[in-house]
Amino acid sequence: MHQNLQATGTHISLIAHITQRELTPNLHSTEAHNGFANRCLWAWVERSNCLPDGGSLTANDLSPVARELRRALDWATTTPEIVFRRNAAAGDLWRDCYPSLSQLRPGLRGAATSRAEAQVLRLSAIYAALDSTPVIALPHLQAALAVWDYCYASATLLFGRSTGDPIADRIREAIDAAGGALSKYQIVRLFHGHMETDRIDAALETLIALGALGIQSEPTGGRPSTRWVAIAADQHQENADSLAEDEESVEAQ
């Protein structure tokens, strides 16, 4: 039963889980681009072993963790106002990594990770708070960046080949189903004459920018035959890694 809830004067956090099969069709394109998806830290999780009778953690195992958490909560709740600031070493690292964190990337993965700098900032402040200090030191920022790296890699697994554009995703799926390549005529036929050519061209440009498609020309004795070819996921990732290395090189220069 649906029930409206209202929260006033509070901060809301959400911890949820979903399968990849459920996520992709249910994450509406509006939610992907309206600031909902990029407020989540996406984490790909798999079980590491089979435990039919559950784990073996006892209250004694959890007590030290609970004590440390209670200490941090007491510090945070008894301090009237906490202004977090980075020390010099953390500040240097933050300025080095900020251009990469704030860079816009295409596709659904880019939409879901477009608040990277804000997420890392909050994570680093949380780690400082767990140490009961308003000073964000180098280990706090390094830990935040490590968490973000994992979340970004998870988002790549979840969304890396999705664009959030139903037309572009339909084209990519059809090309994959056809063995990896389709001509422009075949792509247009996918939509049975109900899609404007300009809209299809824009979707193809999106897929090329994302690194999911390439263009292949073949000589025919007359006008060359052009086909749109799918780029394998592993090659797609290599291209993305290479692009990231080039970006870092330019930033260093």
Residue 101 pLDDT: 94
222: tokens are 């007359």
Q: What is the pLDDT of residue 84?
A: 96
CB under 8 Å to 37, separation ≥6 — which residues?
27, 31, 108, 111, 112
Instruction: With a cut of 60, say whether residue 233 has pLDDT above it.
Output: no
* Spatial separation of the C-alpha atoms in residues 198 and 71, rounded to whole Å: 60
Separation of alpha carbons 45 and 55, rounded Å: 17
Task: Give the tokens for residue 205.
Answer: 């440009």
What pLDDT score was predicted for residue 217? 84
Q: What's the half-sphere exposure (Cβ side, CA atoms, 13 Å) at 23?
A: 18
Confidence of residue 224 (pLDDT cuts 50, 70, 90): confident
pLDDT in tens, 159-182: 866 776 778 888 988 998 888 999
Q: Of 231, 233, 209, 101, give the one whose Cα is nearest residue 159.
A: 233
Banded pLDDT at 34 (limits 50, 70, 90): confident
pLDDT for the residue numbered 161: 67
* Chain segment 108-149, per-residue pLDDT in tens: 788 889 999 999 999 999 999 999 999 999 999 999 999 999
CA-CA distance, 6 to 190, in Å (whole number)?
A: 45
Quick count: other Cβ atoms within 10 Å of Cβ 18?
11
Phi, psi dihedrals of residue 166, rounded to the nearest 5°: -60, -30
- Partnered with residue 214 across adjacent β-strands are 229
pLDDT at position 128 is 97
Average pLDDT over residues 199-218: 87
* 85 CB-contact burial (10 Å; exposed 0-12 / middle 13-18 / buried 19+): exposed
| Lowest mean per-residue pLDDT among 28-32, 73-77, 207-211, 216-220 | 28-32
Backbone angles phi, psi at 4, to 5 degrees: -75, 135
